[in-house]
Amino acid sequence: MRHPDYTLTAGPTTGWPRVQAALGSPIIYDYDPVFLERFRALEGKVARLFRTGADVVLMQGEAVLGLEAAARGLVRAGDTAINLVSGVYGKWFGLWLRDLGANLVEVEVPYDRAIDPADVERALVANPGARVVSVVHSETPSGTVNPLHEIGPLAKRHGALVIADVVSSLAGEDLRTDEWGLDLCVAGPQKCLAGPPGISLVTVSEEAWAAIRANPEAPRGSFLSLLDWKERWIEGGRTAFPYTPSVSDVNGVDAACDEVLETGLDAYVAMHRRAARATRAGVRAMGLDLWPASEDIAASCVTAVTAPDGVRVLEVQADVRERYGVMLSPGFGDLKERLFRLGHMGPNARSLTPLVALAALGQGLADHGAAVSVGDGVEAALEVLSQPDDAFMPQRA
């Protein structure tokens, strides 16, 4: 089959042109002074995206590596861990916690809803010694966001460490690591950054380091070890890697960070918000239903659309790919055949590309007999896309 013309998925997503150029640049030795300097500087750039003064660890595998490393590093048998579940990834994180022998307390809501901070507070009160609260900021599988700005401070007030999966929210949603008291965050570059997958972007607070060091079961001498990075790389003066970094991915992520920082982080987030709002407006105007229970919990990275009754999601998706060259995502996990997901990340959040996703979905459904008003959808989306940038800027607290 031909290469796709558009990759409007839940990620990996289309990279920025400069990301492609950086990926295609010469491969150099990881101890070359140029690479060492780039790697160190990249940590600083990533810290700026997270708005943190904490350590950044660039683990050399896709974000699931960072998440597993976080769980195994921070949590040990007998710990009480409050896991907030509003989607597939939240549920999966609990599996690691249970596997580690934690006393797992789950606050769970249907996957079209967001966690209510009041429920979190109740759980914290009911479990006064809870060591960890884990939460997914942006649930890519269902296109929803949780109120991390409330959950973080709340958990901290109760003395818990906060592990935040921000894989798909970094640079797409407002995110304030230090201000919100997030101890261990993990993001992926193949989402809103529009870089390559293959790297976990991790931040670790001093409190989190102390907890990991105190954990005799925390991985050491392992690909899963955060401590190796702390002890060999950071404390060793950033001269020795625990293992060979993925040179090309590092180059690509570096270019993606430059794109965000040159655009300005707030403006970059605003771009994603606008694209998401336009897509939602389009979806509704086409006569389709959004999956999230309300628009204010809808994610900036992907828009999840409930498949109309009788529609076979995977068939429609495959036909859209073949006939129109547009790659969309179906649902994921339990929701696989119930949702379509329209990605609008990085370059796909710019310009009029959200219209392509809407038209592809709309026409794909129409080709399968569904009644869809593509024209109305495009007009509704355009109305949003034509509004000025500052309408979408994050509000500072």
Interaction with a second copy in 145-184: which residues (CB under 8 A)?
A: none
Contact stretch for a second copy (CB under 8 A) within 55-63, 143-151, 169-177, 204-212: 55-63
Binding part of the chain for a second copy, among 123-131, 144-152, 205-213, 315-323 by CB under 8 A, reads 315-323
CA-wise closest residue to 301 among 165, 164, 141: 141
Contact criterion met (CB below 8 Å) for 328 and 360: yes
Quick one: 338 or 350, whose CB is closer to a second copy? 350
Interior/surface letters 217-251, b for 16+ CB within 10 angstroms, e for the rest: ebbeeeebbbbbbbebbeeeeeeebbeebbbbbbb
Residue from the set 52, 146, 168, 190 that interacts with a second copy by CB under 8 A: 190
Counting contacts by CB under 8 A, is residue 34 touching a second copy? yes
| Residue 234 sits in the site that holds a second copy (CB under 8 A) | no
CA-CA-CA-CA torsion sign (272, 173, 326, 320): negative
CB atoms within 10 A of CB 64: 16
Contact indicator for 316, 364 with CB cutoff of 8 Å: yes
Question: Among residue numbers 349 through 368, which ones bind a second copy (CB under 8 A)?
Answer: 350-353, 355-356, 359-360, 362-363, 366-367
Work out which of 147, 287, 325, 394 binds a second copy, going by CB under 8 A.
325
Q: Is 239 in the site for a second copy (CB under 8 A)?
A: no
Candidates 13-21, 73-81, 154-162, 175-183 — which segment interacts with a second copy by CB under 8 A? 13-21
Establish if 205 lies at the interface with a second copy (CB under 8 A): no
Applying CB under 8 A, what is the total number of residues that bind a second copy?
Answer: 88
Work out the number of other CB atoms within 10 angstroms of the CB of residue 103.
16
Q: Counting contacts by CB under 8 A, is residue 347 touching a second copy? A: yes
Read out DSSP for 149-164? HHHHHHHHHTT-EEEE
Q: Is 37 in the site for a second copy (CB under 8 A)?
A: yes
Q: Answer yes or no whether residue 33 interacts with a second copy by CB under 8 A.
A: yes
Q: Can you tell me the distance from the alpha carbon of 153 to that of 139, in angstroms, rounded to the nearest whole number?
A: 20
Assess contact for 392 and 277: CB atoms under 8 A: yes
Q: In the range 113-132, which residues lie near a second copy by CB under 8 A?
A: none
Residues 6+ apart with CB under 8 A from 202: 56, 57, 58, 59, 66, 69, 70, 184, 185, 186, 187, 226
Residue 273: half-sphere exposure toward Cβ, Cα within 13 Å:
20
Binds a second copy (CB under 8 A): choice among 87, 90, 152, 196: 196
Of the candidate spans 50-58, 117-125, 229-237, 348-356, the one that interacts with a second copy by CB under 8 A turns out to be: 348-356
Among residue numbers 242 through 261, which ones bind a second copy (CB under 8 A)? Answer: 243-249, 252
Q: Does 237 bind a second copy (CB under 8 A)?
A: no
* Residue with the two structure tokens 């921000």: 166
**Selected binder of a second copy within 202, 218, 378, 384 (CB under 8 A):** 378
Site for a second copy (CB under 8 A): which residue of 78, 101, 110, 221? 221
For 19, the 3-state DSSP assignment is helix
Residues 70-99 that bind a second copy (CB under 8 A): 95-96, 99
| Contact residue for a second copy among 182, 327, 339, 384 (CB under 8 A) | 327
Contact (CB, 8 A) for 260 and 268: yes
Is 339 one of the binding residues for a second copy (CB under 8 A)? no
> d(Cα 156, Cα 241) in Å, to the nearest integer?
32
What 8-state DSSP symbol labels residue 301? S
Note the residue count of the chain.
397
C-beta of 371: minimal distance to a second copy in Å?
A: 13
Which of 14, 203, 300, 303 is close enough to bind a second copy by CB under 8 A?
Answer: 14
Residue 62 contacts a second copy per CB under 8 A: yes
Site membership for a second copy, residue 279 (CB under 8 A): no
